[in-house]
Amino acid sequence: MTEDELEQAFYRRIENEEKIEPKDWMPEGYRQNLIRQISQHAHSEVIGMQPEGNWITRAPSLRRKAILLAKVQDEGGHGLYLYSTAETLGISRAEMIEALQSCKAKYASIFNYPAQTWADVGAIGWLVDGAAIVNQVSLQRTSYGPYSRSMIRICKEESFHQRQGYELMLTLCRGTEEQKAMAQDALNRFYWPALMMFGPHDSESAHSAKSMQWKIKRESNDDLRQKFIDQTVPQIEFLGLEHPDKDIRWNEERGHYDHGEIDWDEFYRVISGNGPCNRQRIQHHIRVHEEGAWVRDAMSAYQQKKRQRAQAA
């Protein structure tokens, strides 16, 4: 088949909602777009281990310590899984890590905010995993087969994280005044950044149009954000907390909540490196990677010795 025919066949399959698989022909732009998105997703899982990891050693009960540790471990597992998904597109994990460390690749900007208090662990599970789920449920229908399947698998665990985060918040809200205040403060700090996770308005989004056409992305940033806003209102009410958005109002006609405008200056400020933790997150990743180099070297040296011995025998 000629290049043109291949391309036509590709678009027919996209049209018919058939999944594209690693061995299939795909336009280079499609491949690159997927690599960008999937590796960014993988980096987010990995960098996201840091803010929550910050509380593992101080978790206030053994039960919470175990839950948190297991959760952070899950996120690492998601990272691994997504790195291998991206690898099906012909990029190596080492290349992706190099792109992360040289800031060529992005990760979810939410993780540039610090986890300052214990309640932040709850807020992150509830809101950040919650927002991720809304996005990922939609991505279960993405056109690239391996990515779609990883989303299905990962979403199950994310729902679990969200429930645990919410349950943590609920425990605080039913506790002492101080605990409830801690929960309110965490909600106030994480609510808006969680909304920002869905990205800029569709009109401003650099990759959106092409991604939608390729069915990599299935719903627009604003639609997904609205879903999240709608589902979060009753959850805040049930906790008995105040909604951080003073303009939140049910709109009967739209069947959705109207809401206040996001501080887009802050969004772009944090994305471009001026969040409280941007440098810390990347430097931590680099430091740990460098500190671990001798271990990885030892591993391959040992592997090689073993091979040589096997050959000699």
Partner 1 sequence: MAEQNTRQDTLEYAQRLGDDAVVLGHRLSEWCSNAPFLEEDLALANTALDFIGRARMYYGYAAELADDGRDEDDFAYLRDQRDYRNLLLHELPRGDFAFTQARQYFIDVYNQLFLEELRQSADERLAAIAAKAVKESRYHLRRSRDWMLRLGDGTEESHRRTQTAVDNLWGYTHELFELDPLEQRLVDAGVAVDVAALRDPWREQVGTLLDEATLRQPADDWAVRGGREGYHTENLGHLLTEMQALHRAYPGCSW
Q: Which two tokens stand for residue 93?
A: 């994990």
Gap between the terminal Cα atoms of the chain: 50
Cα–Cα distance, 239 to 167 (Å, whole number): 10
Out of 27, 76, 114, 200, the only residue in the binding site for partner 1 (CB under 8 A) is 76
For residues 126, 113, 147 and 105, what is the CA-based torsion angle, rounded to 10 degrees?
A: 180
- Residues in contact with Fe ion by CB under 5 A are 45, 75, 78, 129, 158, 161
Is the alpha carbon torsion for 277, 280, 286, 289 positive or negative?
A: negative
Q: Which does 181 bind (CB under 5 to 8 A by kind): partner 1, Fe ion, none?
A: none
Q: Which residues pair with 257 in a beta bridge?
A: 250
6 vs 69, which CB is nearer to Fe ion?
Answer: 69
Q: Which does 305 bind (CB under 5 to 8 A by kind): partner 1, Fe ion, none?
A: partner 1
Dihedral class, residue 312 (left if φ above 0, else alpha if ψ from -120 to 50, else beta) = alpha
Q: Does the protein bind partner 1 through residue 1 (CB under 8 A)?
A: no
Name the E strands within 187-303. Answer: 249-251, 256-258
Out of 8, 32, 73, 274, the only residue in the binding site for partner 1 (CB under 8 A) is 73
Distances in whole angstroms, Cα of residue 37 to Cα of each of 89, 105, 198: 12, 9, 13
Site string for partner 1, 209-248 (x = CB under 8 A): ----------------------------------------
**Cα–Cα–Cα angle for 149, 151, 21, rounded to 5 degrees:** 35
Within 10 angstroms of residue 310's Cβ, the number of other Cβ atoms is: 8
C-alpha R_g of the chain = 21
30 vs 118, which CB is nearer to partner 1?
Answer: 118
Shortest Cβ distance from residue 158 to Fe ion (Å)?
A: 5
Site string for partner 1, 148-177 (x = CB under 8 A): --------------------x--x---xx-
Cα–Cα distance, 63 to 118 (Å, whole number): 14
Q: Which does 221 bind (CB under 5 to 8 A by kind): partner 1, Fe ion, none?
A: none
Site string for partner 1, 244-283 (x = CB under 8 A): ----------------------------------------
Q: Does the protein bind partner 1 through residue 65 (CB under 8 A)?
A: yes
Q: Does the protein bind partner 1 through residue 196 (CB under 8 A)?
A: no
Out of 36, 41, 64, 259, the only residue in the binding site for partner 1 (CB under 8 A) is 64
The H or E element that residue 71 is part of is helix 62-87
Q: Which does 96 bind (CB under 5 to 8 A by kind): partner 1, Fe ion, none?
A: none
Is the alpha carbon torsion for 272, 224, 52, 241 positive or negative?
A: positive
154 vs 239, which CB is nearer to Fe ion?
Answer: 154
Q: Which does 72 bind (CB under 5 to 8 A by kind): Fe ion, partner 1, none?
A: partner 1
Binding site for partner 1 (CB under 8 A): 46, 49-50, 53, 56-66, 69-70, 72-73, 76-77, 79-80, 83, 118, 168, 171, 175-176, 178-179, 284, 288, 291-299, 301-302, 305
